[in-house]
C-alpha cells in the first residue's frame, strides 16, 4: 500500500485541517462516500486479541483481488502513526443512551443516494465474481476474508448470508464511548455508513470481535493487522473520536512493527 509523497494523509499530519462537508460537519480526512452497518459494530461484547478464525471455513486460495479497491482510502502505517499522535487520549465514556438505530440510524441507509443500500455497496466492493440483481442486490460472490485469510462462498439467503457480514472497523458502541455522543445525528449516520469504516468479513469472526477496540481484539490474520490498525486510526481521525490509553498503546505498538 505505497503512497505518493503527496498523500492527503501525509499532508494532513503536518497541519491541523478540519474541512466541513455541508451540514454534516465532520472532519473530512477522506472523501469516499458512505453506506453501511455490520454485526460487530453493534455488538456490546469485545472479543479477545487472539480470537481464532471460524472453524470449518474453506482455506484461502491466494491473494485478495479486492484488496486494492477495499483499502484504497486507508493511510499508510507511517501516515497512521502520525495521525495517531494527533488523537486525543481519554478514558471511555459511559454507554448510557446508546441505541444503534436511534443514535446511528437504520441499517443499510443509502446515504450516498446511489440507489443501492450500504450492505450491497460493500459486498460489491469487497467480493469478487459477483452476480447482482437489477436493484443492486448482490446475489452470489466470493470473499477473500481479510480477517481470517480464508475464502468464503457467499450466496444471498437467510442462512448463507450470515457467513459474510459487514464489520464496523471502529465499532459503533466504541465510537459512542469515544466521542460520537458529541456528533450530530447526521454525522453519526455517516459514520455508520462510511466505506472507510466498513469491511466485508467472515461472520463468526465479526461476532467474536463484538465492540472490541485494538486493545481487546485484532484480526486473527496477522497479515491484515497493519491495514486494520491504519483504518481504525483514519476513522477516529475523520470523525474526531478519541482513543483510550490502552487503545493508543496497542495501536502504536502494532503500527511501529508495520
Q: What digits encode the pLDDT tens for the residues 166-199?
A: 999 999 999 999 999 999 999 999 999 999 999 9
Instruction: List beta partners, residue 96.
Output: none
Q: What pLDDT is attached to residue 148?
A: 97
**Least-confidence region, from 48-57, 123-132, 243-252:** 48-57
User: In sequence order, what are the residues at sequence separation of 6 or more whose Cβ sits closer than 8 angstroms to the Cβ of residue 170?
Assistant: 41, 191, 197, 213, 232, 235, 236, 241
State yes or no: pLDDT of 212 exceeds 60: yes
Q: What pLDDT is attached to residue 124?
A: 96
Segment 53-79 mean pLDDT: 74
State yes or no: pLDDT of 40 exceeds 70: no
Distance of CA 33 to the CA centre of its chain: 14
Q: Are 215 and 140 in contact (CB under 8 A)?
A: no
- Say how far apart CA 20 and CA 250 lie, in whole Å: 30
Q: What pLDDT is attached to residue 105?
A: 95
State yes or no: pLDDT of 130 exceeds 80: yes
Q: What pLDDT is attached to residue 51?
A: 37
% residues pLDDT > 70 (the chain):
75
State yes or no: pLDDT of 34 exceeds 70: no
- Say how far apart CA 188 and CA 2 lie, in whole Å: 30
Say what the pTM is: 0.79
> What is the grid cell recorded at 162?
450470515
Amino acid at each position: 500500500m505505497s503512497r505518493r509523497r503527496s498523500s492527503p494523509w501525509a499532508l494532513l499530519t503536518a497541519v491541523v485541517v478540519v474541512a466541513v462537508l455541508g451540514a454534516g460537519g465532520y472532519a473530512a480526512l477522506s472523501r469516499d462516500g458512505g453506506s453501511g452497518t455490520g454485526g460487530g459494530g453493534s455488538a456490546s461484547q469485545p472479543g479477545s486479541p487472539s480470537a481464532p478464525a471460524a472453524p470449518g471455513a474453506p482455506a484461502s486460495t491466494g491473494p485478495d483481488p479486492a484488496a486494492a479497491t477495499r483499502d484504497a482510502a486507508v493511510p499508510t502505517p507511517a501516515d497512521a502513526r502520525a495521525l495517531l499522535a494527533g488523537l486525543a487520549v481519554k478514558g471511555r465514556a459511559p454507554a448510557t443512551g446508546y441505541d444503534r438505530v436511534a443514535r446511528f440510524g437504520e441499517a443499510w441507509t443509502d446515504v450516498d443516494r446511489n440507489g443501492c443500500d450500504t450492505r450491497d455497496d460493500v459486498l460489491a466492493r469487497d467480493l469478487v465474481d459477483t452476480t447482482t440483481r437489477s436493484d443492486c442486490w448482490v446475489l452470489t460472490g466470493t470473499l477473500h476474508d481479510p480477517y481470517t485469510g480464508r475464502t468464503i462462498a457467499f450466496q444471498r439467503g437467510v442462512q448463507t448470508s450470515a457467513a459474510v457480514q459487514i464489520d464496523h472497523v471502529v465499532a459503533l458502541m466504541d465510537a459512542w464511548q469515544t466521542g460520537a455522543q458529541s456528533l450530530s445525528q447526521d454525522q453519526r449516520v455517516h459514520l455508520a455508513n462510511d466505506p472507510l469504516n466498513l469491511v466485508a468479513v467472515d461472520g463468526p469472526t465479526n461476532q467474536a470481535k463484538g465492540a472490541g477496540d485494538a486493545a481487546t481484539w485484532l484480526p486473527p490474520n496477522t497479515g491484515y493487522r497493519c491495514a486494520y490498525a491504519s483504518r481504525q486510526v483514519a476513522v477516529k481521525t475523520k470523525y474526531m473520536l478519541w482513543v483510550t490509553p490502552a487503545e493508543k498503546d496497542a495501536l502504536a505498538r502494532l503500527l511501529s512493527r508495520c
